[in-house]
Each structure stands twice: as structure tokens, then as C-alpha cells.
């Protein structure tokens, strides 16, 4: 009885002398079908073309082998996989916390962050936090959530309707724009700014710093904004008269 005792299983195809079959179905360097030939003949052709004999379909009968530059093939495959990972978009759920009685200035600031998240193609979880007697007036939180959804309706939609969760009321906004589209637009805008900066060396320092911020977004879309977290945790209750 055979027992596997551990170790990695190679996923690399067999090449050249590692191929252990009497005959193979051979494919030429340009993709042409050579036909079924003895393994010795296939290896001889590989040496003649200065290429490798690579087993591309081991389960076929006989196995299918192709003449190719295996080192070049591995390099090109690695580059394609790297490019695919670079363009891969991950959906991120940002969170924004508000109080039912929020100062107008604070509301505008929070809304600005929500707008930025939606423009980046991220979902936003809006949490209304109730304290004390505020829990007896959930309509304040509901109206605030509806107001925010209306203010950003050009960029996002209500993906999850407001619902009570203990002392909190939660709503999720989804972006109209897909993450891949947002990333592509950010890269285009970054390229335009770099071209403008190159054409105008006297560009202001503030604009240059702004380019750096956008470049961070393009390179790492999954990084959360520390400023948002600091504002959410340090937010103080507004006066009772500032009702929405």
C-alpha cells in the first residue's frame, strides 16, 4: 500500500529526458501538428531546433508534447500572472460613524469622506450611534441616513436599507462605479498630472503632494484612511439643539 509521507507535489510539466513514454503526439514550434512520433525522434527534433520538448497534456493518450523555449515560456507566464494581480480589484467596505445629532460642519466633513470612498469604487457602511435617551428616537437616525443617501445618490445607492442593530442603526451604500473603472480613471488622472508636472517644472508644492496621495490610492486601494478612524473615535457629542 502506497503512503504519501508529505512534501510538495510538483506542478511543473515534464520536459526533455523527464518524459517517460514510448511515443508522443508532437506539436511543432509554430503550433503545427507533426503527429505521433517516437520519444527519441521528438527529442532529436528538440535538439535540432535548439528547443525543449515540453509535455503539455500528460493525460492524453499518447501525451501531447510541444517544442518550445521553456525558459522563455515560464518568464512570459510569470509576467502575465503579475499583470493580472496588479489589475485585480478587491471590493473594500469602508465604515463611517455618525451621531443622530451631528453638527452641520461635521456632517459635511463625513459626507466628503463618503463621497471619496464611493468615487474610489468602495462600499460604505454608515453607522448611526445612539446614546442614552437618543435610543428612544430612532427616527432621527433614519432621517439622517436618508439625507446622506440622497446627498450622494449620484455616486452610490442604498445597497442595504437602514436597520436597527442594538444601539446602532446601519445602512450600506454601494458605488455606481466599479472598482476597476475607478482604478483605471485614477491611473489616467495620475498620468495626466505627471505629464503636466513635466511640462511645467514650476508646479506648486501642494499640487505635487496631491499627486502623491492619488498615487498611493492607485498602488494600494485596500489601505484604510487613518484620518477617518481618528475622526470617528474622537468625535464628541454635539449640543442637543443641533438636531437634523
Cα–Cα separations (whole angstroms), residue 27 to 47, 56, 237: 15, 10, 74
Cα–Cα separations (whole angstroms), residue 101 to 69, 106, 214: 68, 10, 33
Q: What is the pLDDT of residues 63-89, one digit of tens each?
A: 999 999 989 888 988 898 888 776 666
Compare 57 and 231 and report the one with higher pLDDT: 57
> What is the grid cell recorded at 71?
525558459
Cα–Cα separations (whole angstroms), residue 219 to 26, 28, 86, 88, 213: 44, 41, 9, 11, 10
pTM of the model: 0.46
Nearest one of 193, 177, 172, 182 to 217, comparing CA atoms = 182
pLDDT of residue 9: 55
* Rounded Cα gap, residues 175 and 219, in angstroms: 20
pLDDT of residue 135: 87
Longest dimension (CA), the chain: 91
Q: What is the mean pLDDT of residues 44-58?
A: 90
Amino acid at each position: 500500500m502506497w503512503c504519501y509521507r508529505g512534501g510538495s507535489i510538483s506542478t511543473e510539466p515534464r520536459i526533455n529526458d523527464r518524459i517517460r513514454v514510448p511515443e508522443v503526439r508532437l506539436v511543432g514550434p509554430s503550433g503545427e501538428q507533426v503527429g505521433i512520433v517516437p520519444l527519441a525522434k521528438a527529442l532529436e527534433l528538440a535538439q535540432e531546433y535548439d528547443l525543449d520538448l515540453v509535455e503539455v497534456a500528460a493525460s492524453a493518450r499518447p501525451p501531447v508534447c510541444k517544442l518550445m523555449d521553456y525558459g522563455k515560456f515560464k518568464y512570459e507566464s510569470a509576467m502575465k500572472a503579475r499583470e493580472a494581480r496588479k489589475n485585480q480589484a478587491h471590493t473594500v467596505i469602508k465604515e463611517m460613524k455618525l451621531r443622530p445629532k451631528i453638527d452641520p460642519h461635521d456632517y459635511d466633513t463625513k459626507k466628503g469622506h463618503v463621497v471619496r470612498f464611493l468615487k474610489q469604487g468602495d462600499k460604505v457602511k454608515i453607522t448611526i450611534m445612539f446614546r442614552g435617551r437618543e435610543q428612544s428616537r430612532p427616527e432621527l437616525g433614519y432621517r439622517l441616513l436618508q439625507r446622506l443617501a440622497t446627498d450622494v445618490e449620484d455616486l452610490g445607492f442604498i445597497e442595504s436599507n437602514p436597520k436597527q442593530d442594538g444601539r446602532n442603526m446601519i445602512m450600506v451604500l454601494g458605488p455606481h462605479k466599479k472598482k476597476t473603472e475607478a482604478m483605471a480613471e485614477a491611473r489616467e488622472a495620475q498620468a495626466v498630472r505627471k505629464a503636466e508636472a513635466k511640462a511645467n517644472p514650476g508646479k506648486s508644492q501642494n499640487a505635487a503632494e496631491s499627486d502623491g496621495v492619488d498615487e498611493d490610492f492607485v498602488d494600494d486601494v485596500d489601505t484604510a484612511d487613518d484620518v477617518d478612524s481618528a475622526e470617528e473615535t474622537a468625535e464628541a457629542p454635539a449640543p442637543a439643539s443641533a438636531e437634523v
